Each structure stands twice: as structure tokens, then as C-alpha cells.
Structure 1
Amino acid sequence: MLSMFNELLWGKVLIVLLILVGVGFTLASRFVQFRFFGRMFKILGSGQAFKKDQHGHLSSFQALVLSVAGRVGGGNIAGVAVAITLGGPGAIFWMWLVGLIGMATSFLECTLAQVYKRAETDGTYRGGPAHYIMRGIGAHMKPMAVIYSVLLLITFGFGFNALQSYAVATSVGDAFGVPVYYTGIALAMIVGVIIFGGVKRIAQVAEYLVPIMAVGYLVIVLAVVGMNIERVPEMLMLILRSAFGLEPLIGGGIGAAIMMGVKRGLFSNEAGLGSAPNVAAVAYVPHPANQGIVQSFSVFIDTIIICSGTAFLILLSGLFDPASTEGIGGVALTQTAMAMHVGEWGRIFVSVALLLFGFSTILYNYYLGENSLAFLKNDNPNILTTFRVLIIGLVCWGATTDLTTVFSFADLTMGLLALVNLIALLFLFKPGLRILRDFDQQLAQGIEQPVFDVNKFQDMDIDPKAWELEPEDAARLQQQHTSASS
């Protein structure tokens, strides 16, 4: 019964909603993810994304890498292999397509998270879907916001942390022969030290760990592609032919290619689930659209870069043929492909990549749970401490337990989580487009770095304290006002 409901939810309802929101906002925003693609690099290259405010809030870059830590996980290594095995090489084309569409969804939800963020008494920001549901749609939608927060707490705060711990422990055991309970204990101790330091310490760890693990993985991928450069055109043509059913003997034809590619793209990058906006809201930026642009780049990193890297490893190895991959699936297929390219040490490398990806995801999942507790008004420090202790215990327990049932339940709650968030995004198209138009208008006026003037949006339930600008940003805003009045 649970599997049937999951299949209906994930296989039909959510795919329709995810595509509806992604394509709808892409068209309504005049293809925002493509118009501002170059600006993603410009923001990161200018140093603007690394700037923190006087209160020490996270920088835009820290929020980016923290969300990448959550998006990039075992699915990028094992999930892509499953997509190719079941849907053929053509699944990669459809994965690329929905990844590009998902960039618009991510822009919308992360921009809204910035708009409706709240300044906390301890000097931090809080935001995310629960906030933009209640304050963007209206206070009468608070029950919907509470449901979202509870689902987020159950899914990411508890369920997925146990699952990630299991994946890390079993991967280390396979690669190095370390008993899973030793890995579980060590992982729990390290996680405990970090999470008791709060979101700033989590971001500091992610700021260094995520680029190292992502770049390390991509360096190996680029080396493999370089060694097989003469076969790359053939591989790309194979992907295109298979995507449109012109390679019927590979995979399950065009239907399977589309289904597996859509699932891989949509559910790997998390665009539409509402998880990344919880992190996007924490950063200081001069305009909400800035963080929307930066966060849409994290979808590009996850789907277009890292998932593609895994796909290239497999396809260039020749293991995509169903006749030769029988009995090989998931991470084993990726490990086998890596070993064929670089030798047996490639298997260990894939396991280490899984270890780093899984560890960073645990930190990200913990913060999502903490954010849920904050929205549910559990400001009691004893409750937060209890939650942290529970997370440490779950990490240790998850490493040593068969989590098949937990996975099925978490899959269901994550689907319901996405359902609530996507419905909310449909209601919030108008304010999202309004913020984007403000950003566009300032750029059209020749303003290189647009600044958000909260006074222009007094009809929206925006917290002015959360938009206290830094002196240099406030000076630019004042200069705009002076120029407009003269």
C-alpha cells in the first residue's frame, strides 16, 4: 500500500507539479535562469557573494555551498547509474532538460525565502517555505505552514540523517573493511562537535568541505574524459539518439528514458522540495534576487555538472549495455566504471566520495530540522539540545541498522513535503515576479548592484529588521533615491 501511494505521488502527481512550476516560472520570468546565467559567475567572481554583514550572518557563498552539500549526495553517484540502467543513455538528456527547468524553480523559492525571512533575537535570520507560506499567502495558511515544518523535521531532521549515516558506514566498510559500528560512533562524535556550534559552524565546515569534495570528483571525471576524448562525440550522439527512441535496443525506449531522466533531474537537485530555501534565507544579500540567482547555480552544479560527470564515467566505460550490466546497479556500476578507467583504486575513490557527500548532507539535514523547530516556536534551549542529542544518536544507530522501512516512510514524507511546497509556489508566482521585476528595473537603469528597498513593498508582510542594509548598500540605495528625485 505504501509503495503504491509512493509510486502515484512521485511517478505522476509530483512530476506534473514540478514541471508545471518550473516551466510556468521559466516562461513568466522570461527564462530567468538563462538571462542571469552569466551573472551567477559575476556575483561569485566579484566577491559580493563572500560578503557577510556586521552581525556575521552567512555570506551568499556559504549559503550556496551549504545547499550544494544537501543537493549533492549518493544520488549523484548511485542514482545516475540506476537511471542509465533502466532508462538508457537517453535518460541523461532529459535529466539535463529538467535540471535547466529546475533552476527557475530554485530561483523562485530561494528568492521568496529571502523576501520573507525573519530577524531572530540572537542576531540570526530564519526563513523558508513555512515562512513564505504563512506570510506570503496569508496568516490563514498557518496550518499548511505547520504541516510543512513537521514534514521537514521528520524527513530531513530524522529520517534522512539515519539513511545518510547508513550509506556512509556501509561505503566505508566496503572500501576499507571498517565495522559499521566503529564508523557510526566516529561519525556521531564529529557531527556532534559541529552541530553544537550552530549553523555558522556548519557553514564554515561546508565552505571548505563541499568545494574540495566536488572539485576532487570533477578532476577525476575530467581526467577520464580527457583519456577518452575521441569517444566523446560518439557518446553525446548516443545520448541524443537514445533520448528520442532512436536506440531501441538500449534501455527501455523513449518512455523509460524520459521517466528516469525526469526523476533523476528533479529529485537529485531538490528544486521544488523547499529544502534549499531554508538555507538560502540565512544569508545576507542586498537584494532577494541575488540569492535566487546564486541558488539556481547550485541546481546547475548538482545536475548539469556532477550528475553528468557520473554519467560520462559510465557511458565512456561501455558498461551502459544492459546485457553487460545485468546484476550490476547503483553505486556498484559507478565503482566498476571508475575501476575500468583508472584501476582498482577507483573503487576506493568512489567510496571516499560517498563518505564526504554523505557527511556534508547530514550537516545540511540537521540544519533543516533545527529550522523546523524554530518555526514551531520551540525556542526552549533544552528542546534544541534534546534534538541535537537525538540526531547524534540517530547517526550512530542508522549506521548499524537495515533502514528499508525508514527509507520507504521518508520517501513518502518527502513527497508530501514537495506537494505542500509546490502548491504554495503556484500561489506565490505573483510576488516572486514582482521582486524579479524590481531587480530587472534597477539593472535597466544602469544600477550594477541592485538594492532591495523594503519601503516599496509595505503591502507585503516583510520584516524590516531582516532588511537592515549594510552601510555601503544603504548608501547606494540613498543615492538611487537622490537621483530619482533630482
Structure 2
Amino acid sequence: MNDFVNAANGLLWGQILVPLLLIAGVWFTVRLRAIQFRHFGHMFSVMKNSRKSDGHGISSFQALCTSLAARVGTGNLMGVAVAISIGGPGAIFWMWVIALIGMATAFAESTLGQLYKETNRNGDYRGGPAYYMLKGLKSPALALLFSICLFIGYGMIFSAPQANSIAEAFNYSYGVDTMITGVVLTIFAAIIVLGGMKKIARFSEMVVPFMGVAYLLVATFVILMNIGEIPSILLNIFESAFGLREAGGGMIGIAMMQGIKRGLYSNEAGMGSVPHAAAAATPYPPHPASQGYVQMLGVFFDTIVLCTCTAMIILLSGIELGQENFGIALTQQALENQVGSWGRDFIAVAIFFFGFTSMVANYAYAENALPFIKMNNKIGRLVFLAVFLGMIFYGSIATLGEVINLADLAMALMTIVNVVAIGLLTKQLVILAKDYNSHIDKGDVPRFIASKEQEQEMNLTPNIWSKENTELK
């Protein structure tokens, strides 16, 4: 199985996914006229009224926190360490690159997720890639394929690396047996996920901002302690990215591969996961594109801010890089070198909250696959819950290499299907972006009201974007 997974990853990541992601990022950057750079400040202004909502959806702020709960996890603390260990400091540069161009991809998929949303039997908004594949592309086969990948990835595999990092961190810091940690995580996860999407959103809204700010403050403290070394660290990153350091040109490919792979795992731009959170929101301004701006901000904060914080902690620590120092233990050792023993404990606590919120957000994402794979019934949901919780326990006691390789494979399959779909829906994205910008240019609050002709042409859910449902409040 390991040989098969490694061979599949080599093919998908080495020859298909990395070029596809770069091409998609450049494509959407060009077609949306560099929206992530032109409207960089607007991403923040959209958040001013982000707590507005109604009885059908979560608020934009809750959608951001839910998406960050899934994004901000082991990828930020463990993934960066893995990237640097294998690809060297240059991997950080390529992580930045994929984040900056990936912001346009994130805008595209989140806007489409919001555009093609619908209400479930409880009156709550639901949507995501399977919905815009089914409605926008009129392709049930593609929707089913993505849903299978979503279920395997978020319902089974992606929580395993989170649980693994939490278990390893607590074992390293406190000597807690990984099996005990696995049992505790499984019980806690069951309590949260059984409350549904809104409970997960409220939990994320409380935890993510607090831990994000705390981690940012600690990293800023480390950077200020070593402010004189920052120029040489940045020079090292750029030289390593282009093979100008000791390892020569042979490291360029490794650095690029690790930076893009770990960057995607962290910020999820193009994977098709975040549109589920975006679709669940009642947006303000009441326009599909507003969720695109919200989720672009999520990519920026996740990778450009938090991943860079971890990179600086590691590179400023003086620890010799190599695969003998690997994963979350490297990040713990690095911070411990800088601030003393409490740094190791702080990372253990941070990875617990970041990793745990990621796990419960994974459940919310995977739940969207159930109607498409005919599991949206009592027995299907019980099977889903058992598999999801079982993988959390498995991840706690498995080796890091096993769970990372499986996660990479599931991530690659999901991303390829989703990127192809959003590429085929570029026309709708350009229409929405132009409509949003026309309101901004006039000084108006953007508001999207779909005519009956647009509903039919785009195959939208009837009345979901009616005048009544997009009232300015």
C-alpha cells in the first residue's frame, strides 16, 4: 500500500498537480485582473460587517473562522517544519508564491460556492464544489467523483495528521502515551461534531482568533529578539529557493515541491474544501463575490502570516536542519531554544487547539458529500461518524510518514477535480467580479439580484438570489 501511495503521489504531484496549480493561479489572477493585489485592502473592509447573518446561514466571520479552523492546523506548525526539513529554507519562498497566486483561486472557488448554494431541509444554506459541478457544469458524474474524494479526504484521512501531531506534541512535552491522547481526542471530537455546522462554527469563532493572535504575538516576540538576523534569513530563503546555496540547482525542484505541497495543505486554495464554509454563510455585502474576498483573506492570514511565523521561529533557532529533526518536534525544539522550556509547552497547546479545530471543521466539510454518495440517512451518518472518529484514533498512534502520504494523495485527487471545474466556470466568475466592482466604483454596497433569465442561464437555485433574499440590513 505504501509503495502504491508513494508512486501515485509521485505521478500526481510531480507531473500534474504542481503545474496545474500554478497555471490555475496565474489564469485566475489574469482573468480577475489581479484581484488579490488590486483589492488587497478591500479584503479587510469586507470584514467590518462580517458578523451580520440571518436564520439561514452563519455569518461571514463564522465562515472565515470555520475555514481557518480547517486551514490553521498542523500545516502551519508541522507542515512548515516538514517543508524546511526536506526542501530547505527555499521551500518557504514557494509557499509564499502558491499562497499569493492561490488567493485568486480561493476567490474563484468560494464565490462559486456561494453562488450555487441552496437550503437544506432545516432551512440552512449548503453548497460547495459538488453543487457547482452539478448545477453550473450540469455534470452529476463530476459532482459524484468530487464527493467521493471529499469523503475520503476530509471524512477519513485529513484528521489523521492533525491527531498525529497533537499526540506527538503531548508525548514530547509531557510523556503522554499517544493512545491515551487518541482516546481523549476521539471523545472530544464526537461531542463537538454531533452539534452540527452551527455548533462547529461557534466553536471555531471562539477558539481560532484567540489562538491565532497568541501564536502571532509569540512569533513576533521571537522575531524582535533576533531582528538583526532577519535580513540574512530572508536572503537565505531566496537563495535556497533558486538553488544558489550549497546544494546547488538540484534542490530547486525539491524546495518548490515541498513549498507548494505544504502550502496547499495549509491554505487549501483550490482544494475545494473552503467553498463549503463559504456557501454556508449569509454574506454581507449580499453578493457571492463578497465571500471570495473573505476567503482570500483566509489564505493570506494562514500562509503569508502564520506559516511565515513558524518559518522564522525555526530558521532563527539555530537548529541544524535535516530529516532527523522532523515534524512538530522541530517546531517545539526551535521555540524552546528561543524562549526556554515554556516554548515547547506553548506549541503543544497551540497544536492541540489548531489541530482540534481542524478536525471538527473537516467533519463539517465531509458532511456535504453524504447526499451525493447516498449516505444522507441514519445508517450512512452512523457509518460516517464511526469512520471519522476511527481515523482520529488511528492518526494518534500511526507514524507521521504514513498519514502524510495518505493525506497528500487525497488532497491531490480533490484538487485536480475542483481546479478543472472552476476553470470551466470562469465565465460566471468574470461576470460576478465585474458586477461587484461596478457597485464599488459607484460607491454602492454590492448586491447581487439574479433575474429569472440569469437563474435559468446559470442554473441557480430558484429565488436564492431574489430581491427579498438580498435585502440590505
**What TM-score do the two structures reach when normalised by structure 2?**
0.92
Distance 1:293 1:244, change over 3 A: same
Structure 2 residue identity aligned to 1:411: D
Partner of 1:297: 297
Partner of 1:310: 310
- Structure 1 residue 15: deviation in Å? 0.6
The DSSP-based 3-state class of the residue aligned with 2:371 is helix
2:209 is equivalent to residue 216 of structure 1: no
2:338 to 329, 341, 344: 341
Partner of 2:42: 39
- Structure 1 residue 251: deviation in Å? 9.6
The answer (yes or no) to whether the contact 1:85–1:251 under 8 Å persists in 2 is no
Structure 1 residue identity aligned to 2:227: I
Partner of 1:484: none
Matches within 5 A, 1:25-64: 25-44=28-47, 46=48, 48-53=49-54, 55-64=55-64
Matches within 5 A, 1:421-440: 421-440=418-437
1:259 to 257, 262, 273: 257
Structure 1 residue runs of 5 or longer lacking an equivalent are 477-486
- Structure 1 residue 469: deviation in Å? 6.0
Structure 1 residue identity aligned to 2:450: V
Cα deviations by residue, 1:300-353 (Å, 9 ceiling, x for unpaired) = 11110111001111122233x55xx46222223222211111012211222222
Partner of 1:71: 71
- Structure 1 residue 386: deviation in Å? 4.2
Partner of 1:113: 113
Structure 1 residue identity aligned to 2:342: W
Partner of 1:170: 168
Partner of 2:193: 195
Distance 1:406 1:240, change over 3 A: closer
Distance 1:86 1:169, change over 3 A: closer
Distance in 2 (CA, whole Å) between partners of 1:89 and 1:407 is 20
- Structure 1 residue 75: deviation in Å? 2.0
- Structure 1 residue 402: deviation in Å? 5.0
After the TM superposition, which of the residue ranges 83-92 and 461-470 deviates more from structure 2?
Answer: 461-470
Matches within 5 A, 1:282-431: 282-285=280-283, 286-319=286-319, 322=321, 325=322, 327-401=324-398, 407-431=404-428
Distance in 1 (CA, whole Å) between partners of 2:287 and 2:372 is 23
Partner of 1:452: 448
- Structure 1 residue 445: deviation in Å? 2.2
Structure 2 residue identity aligned to 1:182: I
Structure 2 residue identity aligned to 1:39: H
Structure 1 residue identity aligned to 2:36: Q
Distance in 2 (CA, whole Å) between partners of 1:253 and 1:173 is 33
Distance in 2 (CA, whole Å) between partners of 1:390 and 1:258 is 34
Distance in 2 (CA, whole Å) between partners of 1:468 and 1:191 is 38
Structure 2 residue identity aligned to 1:201: K
The answer (yes or no) to whether the contact 2:110–2:279 under 8 Å persists in 1 is yes
Structure 2 residue identity aligned to 1:450: P
Distance in 1 (CA, whole Å) between partners of 2:181 and 2:213 is 25
- Structure 1 residue 378: deviation in Å? 3.8
The DSSP-based 3-state class of the residue aligned with 2:135 is helix
- Structure 1 residue 423: deviation in Å? 1.2
Structure 2 residue runs of 5 or longer lacking an equivalent are none
Distance 1:264 1:170, change over 3 A: closer
Distance in 1 (CA, whole Å) between partners of 2:197 and 2:299 is 22
Structure 2 residue identity aligned to 1:196: L
- Structure 1 residue 397: deviation in Å? 4.5
Cα deviations by residue, 1:239-267 (Å, 9 ceiling, x for unpaired) = 23333333335895444333333333233
The answer (yes or no) to whether the contact 1:127–1:277 under 8 Å persists in 2 is yes
Structure 2 residue identity aligned to 1:215: V
The DSSP-based 3-state class of the residue aligned with 2:210 is helix
Distance in 1 (CA, whole Å) between partners of 2:96 and 2:408 is 23
2:19 is equivalent to residue 16 of structure 1: yes
Distance 1:121 1:186, change over 3 A: same
The answer (yes or no) to whether the contact 1:195–1:363 under 8 Å persists in 2 is yes
Fraction of identical pairs, as percent? 44
Cα deviations by residue, 1:80-128 (Å, 9 ceiling, x for unpaired) = 2232233332222222121100100000000000001111121111111
- Structure 1 residue 233: deviation in Å? 2.3
- Structure 1 residue 204: deviation in Å? 0.4
- Structure 1 residue 78: deviation in Å? 2.1
- Structure 1 residue 23: deviation in Å? 0.5
- Structure 1 residue 385: deviation in Å? 4.0
The answer (yes or no) to whether the contact 1:128–1:278 under 8 Å persists in 2 is yes
Distance in 2 (CA, whole Å) between partners of 1:262 and 1:377 is 34
Distance in 1 (CA, whole Å) between partners of 2:334 and 2:358 is 25
Coordinate RMSD, CA, aligned: 2.2
- Structure 1 residue 8: deviation in Å? 1.2
- Structure 1 residue 403: deviation in Å? 7.4
Distance in 2 (CA, whole Å) between partners of 1:384 and 1:203 is 20
**Alignment size in residue pairs:** 466
Cα deviations by residue, 1:49-99 (Å, 9 ceiling, x for unpaired) = 11111x152001111111111112212112222322333322222221211
Structure 2 residue identity aligned to 1:238: N
The answer (yes or no) to whether the contact 1:136–1:461 under 8 Å persists in 2 is yes
Cα deviations by residue, 1:179-202 (Å, 9 ceiling, x for unpaired) = 233322222222122111110000
Distance in 2 (CA, whole Å) between partners of 1:336 and 1:119 is 47
Distance in 1 (CA, whole Å) between partners of 2:117 and 2:472 is 23
Distance in 1 (CA, whole Å) between partners of 2:381 and 2:86 is 43
After the TM superposition, which of the residue ranges 344-353 and 80-89 deviates more from structure 2?
Answer: 80-89
Distance in 1 (CA, whole Å) between partners of 2:371 and 2:26 is 33
Distance in 1 (CA, whole Å) between partners of 2:404 and 2:96 is 26
Distance 1:312 1:469, change over 3 A: farther
The DSSP-based 3-state class of the residue aligned with 1:373 is coil
The answer (yes or no) to whether the contact 2:169–2:329 under 8 Å persists in 1 is no
The answer (yes or no) to whether the contact 1:88–1:250 under 8 Å persists in 2 is no
Distance in 2 (CA, whole Å) between partners of 1:41 and 1:242 is 33
Larger Rg: 1
The answer (yes or no) to whether the contact 2:68–2:208 under 8 Å persists in 1 is yes
Cα deviations by residue, 1:414-473 (Å, 9 ceiling, x for unpaired) = 2111111111122111111111111111212221x20011116231111134335678x5
- Structure 1 residue 212: deviation in Å? 1.5
Distance in 2 (CA, whole Å) between partners of 1:333 and 1:288 is 41
Distance in 2 (CA, whole Å) between partners of 1:80 and 1:68 is 16
Structure 1 residue identity aligned to 2:100: L
